[in-house]
Structure 1
Amino acid sequence: MTHRPSLAEPAFPDDDGTIDSALADALGDDAEVLAVLGDVRVFVPVVALLGDSPAGTDKNADMAAVLMTGADGRKALLAFSSVATMAAWNPDARPVPVRGRDAARAALDEDASALLLDLGGVGFTVIEATDVQHLAAGHRLVSTDAGPAWLT
């Protein structure tokens, strides 16, 4: 029997890079964004960073997700709702499609305390530390009579 290598199925096989309709409807309402973000596809930008190379050799480059550091020293991971919003921010960045909860997990893995969605765009949303932790854990934000609450 011959074994052939196989590629994993893409997570978003018919993705055209546009904003998920649930996220589009939620933008502008932070609680609604948090309620849908865990399950929708977003894009984490990856950029090339030139590494150190001895003179006369080929350049060395690494790929890295983009983190921003605020004036207070806290770090935040960038994510975008669509390829277009990411390209408006940086046309050279490569889009990596992930679910919102996976972007939150990546932020925590990078010791970031926030997730910045659509930096520089009209739907710019800051997801702070506690909410990042809830998203990363797979919790859902639900509406209650007392207001929004995380369902664990």
Structure 2
Amino acid sequence: MVTQTPRKPLPGHIAAKLAGAGGATDSAGQPWQGRDLPAQEKYHNFENDDGATDAHFAAAVQRLVAGTGVEGDVVASLATARVFIPIVAQLAEQTVGANGLAADKESDMALVTVQAPDGRRALPVFTNAAALSRWHPQARPVAVYAARAALSAVAEDAALLVVDPGSERPFVVRRPAMWALAQQRPWIPSYQDPAVLTVLADSVTALAHPAVLAISATAGQGIESLWDKNAEPSGRLVHGGGAGPELTVNLTLRPGLDQPAVAAVLAALQDTWAGNQYFAATVDSVAIRLLNPHPAPGP
């Protein structure tokens, strides 16, 4: 006598899938027979892509790490690079079939976004498919040009594009550079932009405050990123790829000002910068450094 062990009931959503599978028609009732995909049609721009990191981007990053390149070159290399964005399925609507089993009626494909340490939304992108799979095994890697990824980030109200998060060498593309990628135009870092320096100089002229002796700008420490080269435990700082602030404004004030007076000067200058359309679009974040005036030369 042969006894059969009672089968454990399948989860409802799996049973529903099995109940509707294997028919001669698709979900719309159209027969499968006679349908084929034309081999000669090109469905996307990356059909021969091997999933590896773009060579120009990799070379720009290597120069940045070696100290012979700048972060502007890395962003420029992304202008023609293919990247992968993570897409996940989200259940939009569920229905109950005639067999009483629950089934997914609709599902949406959604971009994966993350929150940066400063609270801003960021879109992660990956230079190779393997890096994305390690970061989020359930996400589907979708190949796009980096410019298209930047456009998607803007549409998602993201302020940052993070290249290869979780890897040894992540690289953050801040808002102005991300917008430049989305618009497919060249990007100049704010700390290298002569027009930004002009705005700063004009703001001092417009303020006409006798306490302001000089103003200048340099790259901020926020552009530095801590990268782990060859898995060194201590890591190393690289001059680029950080999340900001990317611009340091050096301000020299007349000595002897009290704290309220200094605060009033800074507030007036910051209001002028925020009201300048070019400055607001070009500068992602600012750090202000107060400098002591040089002492007068002795006799």
For 1:62, the equivalent position in structure 2 comes to 108
Aligned equivalents of 1:23, 1:42: Cα separation in 2: 10
Aligned equivalents of 1:123, 1:70: Cα separation in 2: 16
For 1:81, the equivalent position in structure 2 comes to 127
Measure how far apart 1:54 and its partner are. 5.3
Bigger helix fraction: 2
Q: 1:39 aligns with which of 74, 80, 87?
A: 80
Measure how far apart 1:91 and its partner are. 1.8
Q: Deviations over 1:62-118 (max 9, x none)?
A: 211111123543211110000011111012211111111111111001111111110
The question of 1:16 aligning with 2:62 is answered: no
For 1:53, the equivalent position in structure 2 comes to 94
| Structure-2 change in CA distance of 1:13 and 1:142 (3 Å) | farther
Measure how far apart 1:27 and its partner are. 2.3
Q: Point out the more displaced range, 55-64 or 100-109.
A: 55-64
Q: What is the letter of the counterpart of residue 17 of structure 1? A: G
Q: What is the letter of the counterpart of residue 66 of structure 1? A: V
| Structure-2 change in CA distance of 1:148 and 1:99 (3 Å) | farther
The question of 1:90 aligning with 2:131 is answered: no
Measure how far apart 1:14 and its partner are. 1.3
Aligned length: 143
Asked whether the 8 Å contact 1:44–1:65 carries over to 2, the reply is yes
SS in 2 for 1:58: strand
Asked whether the 8 Å contact 2:52–2:127 carries over to 1, the reply is yes
Give me the TM-score of the superposition, normalised by structure 1.
0.81
Asked whether the 8 Å contact 1:26–1:36 carries over to 2, the reply is yes
Aligned equivalents of 1:42, 1:134: Cα separation in 2: 17
Q: What is the letter of the counterpart of residue 83 of structure 1? A: A
* Structure 1 segment 72-151 matched on structure 2, within 5 A: 72-141=118-187, 147=192
SS in 1 for 2:134: helix
Task: Give the % identical residues.
Answer: 33
Q: Which runs of 5+ in 2 are unaligned?
A: 1-36, 65-70, 195-299
Asked whether the 8 Å contact 2:79–2:181 carries over to 1, the reply is yes
Q: What is the letter of the counterpart of residue 56 of structure 2? A: A
Q: Which runs of 5+ in 1 are unaligned?
A: none
| Structure-2 change in CA distance of 1:83 and 1:9 (3 Å) | same
Q: What is the letter of the counterpart of residue 25 of structure 1? A: A
Supply the RMSD in Å over aligned alpha carbons.
2.6
Asked whether the 8 Å contact 2:177–2:187 carries over to 1, the reply is no
Aligned equivalents of 2:168, 2:159: Cα separation in 1: 22
Bigger strand fraction: 1
Measure how far apart 1:142 and its partner are. 7.1
Q: Using CA pairs under 8 Å that are at least 6 residues apart, name the structure with larger relative contact order, 1 or 2.
A: 1
Measure how far apart 1:147 and its partner are. 5.0
Larger radius of gyration: 2
| Structure-2 change in CA distance of 1:39 and 1:148 (3 Å) | farther
Asked whether the 8 Å contact 1:35–1:142 carries over to 2, the reply is no
| Structure-2 change in CA distance of 1:148 and 1:80 (3 Å) | farther
